[in-house]
């Protein structure tokens, strides 16, 4: 971050704008909106500045810039069309440690003025740090259309009601829930849109006495790694969470999208200690929900595919805790898509089977005879350490030794690796790999050489920003 964004109180502070042309007018206009005490200095000023002076909105010094003009100022804007003067002002202001902005000269500025979406008291500021002003403007235009006008009234009325809410609901987490419920409510929005402020206030009061919702758990599949594969629902719930219990498989980029004030807790499975960890996790989910918290249980891929999501939900049902489930993109879908391997294809595979290489000690053995039938795709989760077993079981049961296989390591992430070979080599292929690896066995793997498209080393990252995706 080259510039630190802050919103500063400028009301009645003395600001100097040097220059009397159109650019000065634009800056003055913005400063006035925030109530600054403005002095404009220029030998000649345009009419709109003169009018503002006539209305006592600002003071004009009809003169060229002199050093003493910045004496008692807090902020200076150099908007003349003469570079040397602008540079001189910047240097002087820097010496006196004043905030200075030189129009179109980012290198001389100690502050820059962002693009603004003004729904006061909601104000959104966008800056590209002087790198791409047109892009910043496009983002602003997009936000202008996204943020309805009544959002200003909503923020204002909420400000007035805050104290009352604090009196009635003493617990912070429950207060947040109240506001979330209120802001997500279409009735309030439509009252405000119509300008029916009194009715809106009555509505807020009526909801204040309603019973506040209990805590609940959202079991969310976070997908295989690339954060842009999260569902919108997942993102929404992550943004509302009080606490997030996440698995080791969930990437840092995804955790960065969780509400900033939420507590983050890793409940990654410690090797060899699964059962203890799992039962403690289940217990914590119940406890946090019973404290009235919005709990997010975040798992890699999809929670219902080798994710033990079902087991966690059974505990919640038993404890009477409310929950919802948000599906995620499972590793088989994500990895195969990013490796260019269609799991089924009319010419190569008529079915696909997902199995796990890691089962309970007393679990049912896999039906290798059925899994070895040709023209079907076999996807093995947690199979890397069992590659030798998988290879021999499939070969013994008649799968062709030349059947193509793929190992996809850290699929969909920017360090994804895809290694292909044939079944007779499977046990050798994954030698140097570490971390999550998926094995795909079947004729469809051949298509990877033709359909692979995701080459993280050569391709720029696909844009993750939902606004930017559609900007072009």
The contact set with ligand SAH (CB under 6 A) reads 224-225, 249, 299-302, 305-307, 330-331, 335, 381-382, 408, 410-412, 436-438
Closest CA to 87 of 16, 3, 18, 4: 18
Residue 392 C-beta: closest distance to ligand SAH, Å = 19
What is the strand order of the sheet 404-409 is part of? 352-356, 377-381, 437-441, 404-409, 417-422
* Cβ atoms of 185 and 173 closer than 8 Å: no
- Is 104 part of the annotated catalytic residue set? no
Residue 62 neighbours by CB under 8 Å, 6+ apart: 42, 43, 44, 45
Residue 64 to residue 102: CA distance in whole angstroms: 16
Residue 298 C-beta: closest distance to ligand SAH, Å = 11
Residue of closest CB approach to ligand SAH: 301
Q: In this structure, is the dihedral angle defined by the CA atoms of residues 422, 423, 424 and 430, taken in order, positive or negative?
A: positive
Residue 315 C-beta: closest distance to ligand SAH, Å = 18
Largest CA distance in the chain: 96
156, 181, 199, 269: the active-site residue:
269
- Judging by beta carbons within 10 Å of its beta carbon (0-12, 13-18, 19+), is residue 7 exposed, middle or buried? exposed
Q: Which residues pair with 407 in a beta bridge?
A: 419, 439
Residue 433 C-beta: closest distance to ligand SAH, Å = 10
3-state class (DSSP) for residue 295: strand
Closest CA to 406 of 451, 461, 366: 451
Residue 404 to residue 423: CA distance in whole angstroms: 6
CA atoms within 13 A on the CB side of 388: 3
Residue 115 C-beta: closest distance to ligand SAH, Å = 37
* Cβ atoms of 157 and 131 closer than 8 Å: no
- Is 199 part of the annotated catalytic residue set? no
226, 242, 247, 302: the active-site residue:
247
Q: Which is nearer to ligand SAH, 201 or 356 (CB)?
A: 356
How many Cβ atoms are within 10 Å of 108's Cβ, its own excluded? Answer: 19
CA atoms within 13 A on the CB side of 445: 24
Residue 333 C-beta: closest distance to ligand SAH, Å = 8
Q: Which is nearer to ligand SAH, 108 or 249 (CB)?
A: 249
Catalytic machinery residues: 247, 269
């Amino acid at each position: 971050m080259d510039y630190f964004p802050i919103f500063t109180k400028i009301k009645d502070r003395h600001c100097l704008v040097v220059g009397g042309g159109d650019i000065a007018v634009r800056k003055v206009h913005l400063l006035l909106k925030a109530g600054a005490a403005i002095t404009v200095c220029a030998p000649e000023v345009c009419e709109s500045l003169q009018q503002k002076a006539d209305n006592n909105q600002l003071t004009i010094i009809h003169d060229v810039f002199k050093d003493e003009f910045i004496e008692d100022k807090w902020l200076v804007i150099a908007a003349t069309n003469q570079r040397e003067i602008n540079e001189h002002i910047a240097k002087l202001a820097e010496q006196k440690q004043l905030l200075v902005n030189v129009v179109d000269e980012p290198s001389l500025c100690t502050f820059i003025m962002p693009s603004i979406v003004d729904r006061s008291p909601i104000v959104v500021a966008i800056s590209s740090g002087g790198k791409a002003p047109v892009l910043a403007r496009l983002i602003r235009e997009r936000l202008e259309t996204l943020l309805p006008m009544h959002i200003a009234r909503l923020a204002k009325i909420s400000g007035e009601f805050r104290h009352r809410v604090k009196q009635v609901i003493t617990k912070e987490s429950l207060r947040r829930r109240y506001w979330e419920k209120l802001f997500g409510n279409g009735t309030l929005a439509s009252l405000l849109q119509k300008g029916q402020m009194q009715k809106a206030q009555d509505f807020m009061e009526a909801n204040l006495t309603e019973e506040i919702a209990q805590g609940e758990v959202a079991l969310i599949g976070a997908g295989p790694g690339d954060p842009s594969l999260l569902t919108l629902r997942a993102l929404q719930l992550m943004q509302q969470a009080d606490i997030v219990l996440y698995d080791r498989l969930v990437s840092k980029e995804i955790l960065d999208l969780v509400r900033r004030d939420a507590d983050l807790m890793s409940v990654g499975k410690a090797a060899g200690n699964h059962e203890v960890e799992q039962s403690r996790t289940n217990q914590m989910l119940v406890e946090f929900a019973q404290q009235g918290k919005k709990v997010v249980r975040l798992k890699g891929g999809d929670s219902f595919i080798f994710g033990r999501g079902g087991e966690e939900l059974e505990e919640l049902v038993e404890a009477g805790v409310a929950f919802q489930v948000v599906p995620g993109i499972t590793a088989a879908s994500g990895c195969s898509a990013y490796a260019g391997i269609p799991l089924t294809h009319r010419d190569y595979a008529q079915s696909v089977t997902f199995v796990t290489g890691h089962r309970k000690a007393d679990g049912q053995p896999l039906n290798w005879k059925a899994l070895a039938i040709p023209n079907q795709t076999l996807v093995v989760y947690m199979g890397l350490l069992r590659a030798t077993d998988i290879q021999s079981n499939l070969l013994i049961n008649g799968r062709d030794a030349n059947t193509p296989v793929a190992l996809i390591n850290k699929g969909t992430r920017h360090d994804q690796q895809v290694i292909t070979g044939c079944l007779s080599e499977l046990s050798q292929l994954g030698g140097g790999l570490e971390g999550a690896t998926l094995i795909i066995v079947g004729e469809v793997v051949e298509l990877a050489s033709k359909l692979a498209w995701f080459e993280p080393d050569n391709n720029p990252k696909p844009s993750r920003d939902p606004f930017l995706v559609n900007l072009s």
